[in-house]
Amino acid sequence: MAAHPKTGQVWELPTFLPIGKDAQDRERRALPINSAFPAGPGEYSSKYVYYWVGTWDATNRRWTPDTTEPKLMDYGDHFTGPSGTVDDKGRSLVFGIAQDRRTERAHYDAGWAHNAGLPSELSMRPDGDLGFRPVEEVSRLHAGAPLLDITAPTSLADANNRLAGIKGDMLHIKLTMERGSAGTFGLDVLRSPGDEERTRLFSDAPAGQLGVDRTRSGNNNSAEPGFGIHKGPLTLTNDTLTLDVFLDRSMIEAYAHDHKSITTRAYPFRQESLGLRLFGDGSTVKSMTVWKMGNMTD
């Protein structure tokens, strides 16, 4: 902890999960922890989840991390409290507490505070790093046929024309974009018609980063004065960005390349902040599918 103060003074909810075997047939495991910092007498605040990956020697009960430097598991600042399990299919699954950061008055009025995020399946990437993606069962929540299905390369203008009539805050969006000449490109969600409000998921290709820009997300019922921009390392593959995005009211969960994720929240003031729009001059949409999502309890 002393060597890496960003991981907090307390490592809450450590989870130790298998993610596969390497070329030497050694078992690989991931160790996510919740970073916690003193917030008052007997109280701790948490904001980020860090992880390490390494090899596990079951005979000698020894785990050797690849590096002592931890990595962020999620580039938003609402993914906390990781819990994990190995299910009956042998999958290592993890989900977090998506802290809403609303005011205590908003919690009281709503009758609840915070919620769990989607379960994600952990895996080992070819480079040995941790990969994760939403569990396949989320597709069962699709409410009927896709609202949009682009299967061939399409210009940004044509794709946005087709997106103009699609509104919602319970959506599943799968998107593949080719950078082209764009520097920064991606997808705006929960967007108002005049662009006064929006939450922007973006790739900054020259910087090799994935991020979320919430400077226009709206701040209704939130205790934070400004959301700002959060980002972290992500290298594109063949100048192409692949996103798997889930909207559930105030919740926004985005997975990029089955490798990194962004969990964030948005509280628009405007009731019409329900639109989608692509951005990035010079980029091309290779494919895009949008589904309306139903309730888990339906």
Residue 151 lies in a domain: yes
Q: Are both 234 and 92 inside the same structural domain?
A: no
Q: Are both 201 and 269 inside the same structural domain?
A: yes
Q: What pLDDT was estimated at residue 234?
A: 97
Residue 86 lies in a domain: yes
Q: Are both 127 and 173 inside the same structural domain?
A: no
Distance from C-alpha of 4 to C-alpha of 210, rounded to nearest angstrom: 23
The total number of structural domains that make up the chain: 2
Confidence class for position 44, pLDDT limits 50, 70, 90:
low
| Model confidence, pTM | 0.95
- pLDDT (mean) for 215-236: 85
Q: Which of 17, 42, 40, 21 is nearest to 29 (CA)?
A: 17
Residue 193 lies in a domain: yes
Tokens of 215: 């400077």
Residue 234 lies in a domain: yes
Q: What pLDDT was estimated at residue 155?
A: 98
Q: Are both 160 and 242 inside the same structural domain?
A: yes
Q: Say if residue 254's pLDDT is above 70.
A: yes
Residue 297 lies in a domain: no
Q: Are both 49 and 83 inside the same structural domain?
A: yes
Is-contact 231 212, C-beta < 8 A?
yes
Mean pLDDT of the chain: 93
Which of 6-15, 67-76, 147-156, 282-291 is predicted with the least confidence, judged by mean pLDDT?
6-15
Q: Are both 147 and 287 inside the same structural domain?
A: yes
Q: Are both 209 and 253 inside the same structural domain?
A: yes
Q: Are both 188 and 248 inside the same structural domain?
A: yes
Q: Say if residue 142's pLDDT is above 70.
A: yes
Higher pLDDT, 176 or 8: 176
Distance from C-alpha of 251 to C-alpha of 94, rounded to nearest angstrom: 17
Confidence class for position 298, pLDDT limits 50, 70, 90:
low
pLDDT per position as a tens digit, 8-38: 988 999 999 999 999 999 999 999 999 988 8
Q: What percent of the chain has pLDDT over 70?
A: 97
Is-contact 283 156, C-beta < 8 A?
yes
Q: What pLDDT was estimated at residue 227?
A: 76
CA distance to 76, 96, 177, per residue, from 245 (Å): 13, 16, 13
Length of the chain: 298
| Torsion from C-alpha of 248, 256, 239, 277, nearest 10 degrees | 10
Confidence class for position 225, pLDDT limits 50, 70, 90:
low
Q: Say if residue 43's pLDDT is above 90.
A: no
Can you give the residue range of the structural domain that contains 193?
139-292
> Final residue of a domain: which of 136, 171, 206?
136
pLDDT per position as a tens digit, 49-105: 999 999 999 999 999 999 999 999 999 989 999 999 999 999 999 999 998 888 888
Q: Are both 132 and 241 inside the same structural domain?
A: no
What residues contact 115, with CB distance under 8 A and at least 6 apart?
97, 98, 100, 251
Q: Are both 9 and 118 inside the same structural domain?
A: yes
> Final residue of a domain: which of 136, 159, 185?
136
Q: Say if residue 46's pLDDT is above 90.
A: no
Q: Say if residue 119's pLDDT is above 90.
A: yes
Residue 27 lies in a domain: yes
Q: Say if residue 286's pLDDT is above 90.
A: yes
Q: What's the CATH number where 198 sits?
A: 2.60.120.560
> Final residue of a domain: which of 103, 136, 169?
136
Q: Which of 289, 296, 181, 291 is nearest to 243 (CA)?
A: 289
Residue 16 lies in a domain: yes
Residue 298 lies in a domain: no
Q: Are both 119 and 162 inside the same structural domain?
A: no
Q: Are both 94 and 129 inside the same structural domain?
A: yes
Where do we find the tokens 């820009």? 213
Q: What's the CATH number where 117 sits?
A: 2.115.10.20
Is-contact 173 187, C-beta < 8 A?
yes
